[in-house]
Amino acid sequence: MFKLSKVVIVGRPNVGKSTLFNRLAGRRRALTHDLPGMTRDRLSELIELNDGRVFELTDTGGLEYGDDAQSDFAEEIKRQATFALQEADLIVFVVDGAAGLMPEDNDIANVLRRREEKVILVVNKIDTRLAEENQHDFHALGFERVLAISAEHGTSSEDLIEEIEKIVPAESVSQEVDENEPVRLAIIGRPNVGKSSLLNKLTGEERAVVSNIAGTTRDAIDSMLERGGKKYLMIDTAGIRRKGKTLEGAEKLSVISARKAMDRAEIAMVLIDATEGVTAQDATVAGYAEDAGRAAIILVNKWDLMETTTTLAKEMEESIRMKLKFLQYAPVEFISAKTGRRVEKIFQRIDEVAESYRKRVTTSKLNEILEKAIRQHSPPSVHGKPRRFYYATQVKAQPPTFAIFTNSLEPLHFSYRRYLENTFREELGLVGTPVRFVIRARKGMKIAPKKMPKTKPPDRRN
């Protein structure tokens, strides 16, 4: 069994750690939130290189100083960050080139210096004039390996990938998902929408405390189920509450617990209370599932309490689609966790979604789809020059993630990305799963760096 190489991203807040994580992961995976402790929890993802080798990438905001050290979770956050650094085969120390060298950068450098041989100093945001002027100041931190990049625009990100490739062993090739592995499901939703009731109905046991007091469940509870010879691991989560109601430490930890449960899951079962409709907090919780890159099924619970009409279900689904536009791909089911109505039928949908989420597609099939998409709608030009797509290949499953090799590392325009997502989803019959795209340069091709702007652009933060 090979040892999985571990790459850890560190740096003070707002230097672009999450943006870099997303750039390397090829999708929007790392999250930002104004709840204390939300973005500071250690976040890891398995990343697959072009040749199939795999490494673990970790984003942590744990090395923070100043007033943040007084927070309730400071010690736990720092403990997790320190543990990640001890395990790391490569440490990516990110600094903000636009802001210049800061005292906190020196503090973090002092912590990392004992592991200097494993550290790469990454000067981020070089697409600004200030970064160009400040870049040489960071050599004072004393690290031998220094790279200047733009995590947001991808400039020179290939140089960092080359450094990562050096520490990933040849035998660490990604394995296909074992179809006999249990499908991992996270039951998520705001407090008191029926998560515990659903778990109890599915397991046939009173595994979770059921109460009309919001926030009764505070810990994740795992339950193994079997239906028709197939296995499912159900992960019940503590309720996620609004910011104004998360003053107690236990409630803050319940949010972290829910987020960790989704990190272990493949499919997020998003519960919505039919009697209240889609709320802003429902959208926030559902957004966690989307940002985590998980497949999703939307379950409208307490349907037994509704005075159903011939059009009510249609009207409810239209409302869901309008308020949860980012989960257009997620199927909607109407259930009653209390009475068991349509609960068992969920498993048919789970099987369909799990197959899509784990799907592997041949390169030849992907290129047929890509060529068809280009014929029907050519990609928009980049800075007045035609954009060319050379070929596509799948870099990972869970969710299906496709690399498109092109003559420009500029991000795809959101409308064309959406067009490609819809096209690939339809052609491959994908249900309930996100579809991700990674833009890469063809091997051996050099991409010219972007010219520095004449004026300072607006500050972009994670």
CATH of the domain at 117: 3.40.50.300
pLDDT, residue 156, reads: 83
Each residue of 390-411: pLDDT tens digit?
999 998 888 999 989 988 888 8
In a domain, 189, yes or no: yes
pLDDT, residue 27, reads: 53
Q: Are residues 371 and 331 in the same domain?
A: no
Better-scored residue on pLDDT, 284 or 331 = 331
Q: Are residues 349 and 207 in the same domain?
A: yes
Better-scored residue on pLDDT, 216 or 21 = 21
Q: Are residues 344 and 435 in the same domain?
A: no
56 - beta bridge partners? 6, 46
pLDDT, residue 361, reads: 93
Q: Are residues 207 and 320 in the same domain?
A: yes
What is the domain extent for residue 130?
5-165
Q: Please state, in angstroms and rounded to a whole number, the distance separating the CA atoms of residues 87 and 83.
A: 6
Q: Please state, in angstroms and rounded to a whole number, the distance separating the CA atoms of residues 395 and 370.
A: 15
Q: Are residues 414 and 333 in the same domain?
A: no
In this predicted structure, the answer to whether residue 80 has a pLDDT above a threshold of 50 is yes
In this predicted structure, the answer to whether residue 304 has a pLDDT above a threshold of 60 is yes
pLDDT, residue 318, reads: 94
Last residue of a domain, which of 356, 381, 415? Answer: 356
Span 99-103, average pLDDT: 88
Phi/psi for 81 (5° steps) reads -65, -45
List strands edge to edge, sheet with 54-59.
43-48, 54-59, 5-10, 90-96, 119-124, 146-148
Each residue of 409-441: pLDDT tens digit?
888 888 999 999 999 999 999 999 999 988 887
Rama region for 10: left / alpha / beta (φ>0; ψ in -120 to 50; rest): beta
Which is nearest to 129 in space by CA: 455, 410, 458, 450? 455
Integer CA distances (angstroms), 348 to 224, 354, 427, in order: 17, 10, 21
Q: Are residues 222 and 310 in the same domain?
A: yes
Question: What is residue 355's three-state secondary structure?
Answer: helix
Each residue of 224-283: pLDDT tens digit?
888 888 899 887 655 455 545 444 444 455 456 556 667 778 999 999 999 999 998 889
Last residue of a domain, which of 299, 331, 356? Answer: 356
In this predicted structure, the answer to whether residue 322 has a pLDDT above a threshold of 90 is yes
Report the helix count and the strand count for the chain, using DSSP H and E: 12, 15
pLDDT, residue 461, reads: 45
Neighbours of 140 (CB within 10 A): 11
Q: Are residues 10 and 140 in the same domain?
A: yes
Q: What type of residue sits at position 123?
A: V
Two tokens, residue 124: 């981020």
In this predicted structure, the answer to whether residue 69 has a pLDDT above a threshold of 80 is no
pLDDT, residue 16, reads: 87
pLDDT, residue 195, reads: 84
In this predicted structure, the answer to whether residue 37 has a pLDDT above a threshold of 50 is no
Q: What type of residue sits at position 282?
A: D
Among 80-89, 133-142, 178-187, the least confident range: 80-89
Which is nearest to 111 in space by CA: 146, 84, 72? 84
Each residue of 355-387: pLDDT tens digit?
999 999 999 999 999 999 999 999 999 888 999
pLDDT, residue 390, reads: 92
Q: Residues with Cβ < 8 Å from 417, sequence gap 6 or more?
A: 411, 437
pLDDT, residue 454, reads: 42
In a domain, 224, yes or no: yes
In this predicted structure, the answer to whether residue 104 has a pLDDT above a threshold of 70 is yes
Q: Are residues 207 and 317 in the same domain?
A: yes
pLDDT, residue 365, reads: 95
Q: Please state, in angstroms and rounded to a whole number, the distance separating the CA atoms of residues 415 and 338.
A: 42
pLDDT, residue 223, reads: 76
In a domain, 177, yes or no: no
Q: Are residues 345 and 399 in the same domain?
A: no
Which is nearest to 19 in space by CA: 398, 409, 408, 461? 461
Each residue of 46-60: pLDDT tens digit?
777 777 677 888 887
Question: What is residue 117's three-state secondary structure?
Answer: helix
Q: Are residues 351 and 367 in the same domain?
A: no
Q: Please state, in angstroms and rounded to a whole number, the distance separating the CA atoms of residues 308 and 125.
A: 54
Q: Are residues 346 and 367 in the same domain?
A: no
pLDDT, residue 323, reads: 94
pLDDT, residue 442, reads: 65
Q: How many domains, the chain?
A: 3
CB contact at 8 A, 318 and 290: no
pLDDT, residue 121, reads: 94
Q: Residues with Cβ < 8 Å from 243, sequence gap 6 or more?
A: 34, 35
Question: What is residue 427's three-state secondary structure?
Answer: helix
Taking all residues of the chain, what is their mean pLDDT, rounded to a whole number?
78
For the entire predicted model, the pTM comes to 0.61
Q: Please state, in angstroms and rounded to a whole number, the distance separating the CA atoms of residues 178 and 241.
A: 36
Q: Please state, in angstroms and rounded to a whole number, the distance separating the CA atoms of residues 422 and 248.
A: 42
Q: Are residues 217 and 269 in the same domain?
A: yes
Which is nearest to 431 in space by CA: 333, 312, 349? 349
Length of the chain: 462
In a domain, 298, yes or no: yes
Q: Please state, in angstroms and rounded to a whole number, the distance separating the CA atoms of residues 378 and 107.
A: 49
Each residue of 155-203: pLDDT tens digit?
888 889 989 999 888 665 555 555 678 899 998 888 788 888 888 888 7
Identify the band that residue 24 occupies on the pLDDT scale cut at 50, 70 and 90: confident
Q: Please state, in angstroms and rounded to a whole number, the distance separating the CA atoms of residues 30 and 361.
A: 26
CATH at 376: 3.30.300.20
In a domain, 130, yes or no: yes
In a domain, 453, yes or no: no
pLDDT, residue 458, reads: 44
In a domain, 351, yes or no: yes
pLDDT winner (highest mean) among 106-110, 304-308, 426-430: 426-430
The DSSP letter of residue 433 is -
pLDDT, residue 462, reads: 41
In a domain, 176, yes or no: no
Phi/psi for 135 (5° steps) reads -55, -45
Last residue of a domain, which of 98, 133, 165? Answer: 165
Q: Angle formed by the axes of helices 280-291 and 249-264, to 10°?
A: 40
Better-scored residue on pLDDT, 212 or 401 = 401
